[in-house]
Each structure stands twice: as structure tokens, then as C-alpha cells.
Amino acid sequence: SGGRFRCVAETAGQAASRMLLLQAGYYFVGAIQDRGGVIGGRNTKYFVQWAGYGVCRNTWEPIGNLENVKDMVINFNMSHGN
């Protein structure tokens, strides 16, 4: 899939579906912590906190890797001035 991976937002009360998603290779986004680059630019990246992993596992991800969590990206951008 061209280096992309699948991710979904972490939500409460989804234990059964969470297990199925993990088995299907999805990762859960706990929060978006920061943004680098210009919004809408080709090189925009977001600093992602992965649910269930320590902060040392946070990673910078291009917007293309966050297609399933667009609401989180929009909310982050709105709350950070864009």
C-alpha cells in the first residue's frame, strides 16, 4: 500500500471491534499532539500519540496516513489556529 498504514480513532466501549481492527492491521490514534508544515501542503505531518503505546512511540505521520481520522485532524487544526 505504498508505505501507508491503516489507523482509526481511539474510542471508549469498543473492545470487541477493537480486537478485530487490531487483527486486521489497524493502529489506534490516541491524540494528535503537533503539526509540522503548512496545512494542506504536500509535506504537512502530524505528531501522533498512539493509543496503548508510550510517548517514546509517538511518530510524525503524513496526512495520507491519517485518512481514517480526518475528524481528529480537523479538530486539531481548528483548535490550533487553522
pLDDT tens-digit profile of 23-65?
Answer: 777 788 999 999 998 777 778 999 999 988 888 999 999 988 8
Q: Is the pLDDT of residue 13 over 90?
A: no
Q: What is the pLDDT of residue 46?
A: 95
Radius of gyration from C-alpha coordinates of the chain = 13
Q: What is the pLDDT of residue 1?
A: 38
Q: Is the pLDDT of residue 77 over 50?
A: yes
Q: Is the pLDDT of residue 3 over 70?
A: no
34 is written with which cell numbers?
A: 503537533
Q: Is the pLDDT of residue 2 over 60?
A: no
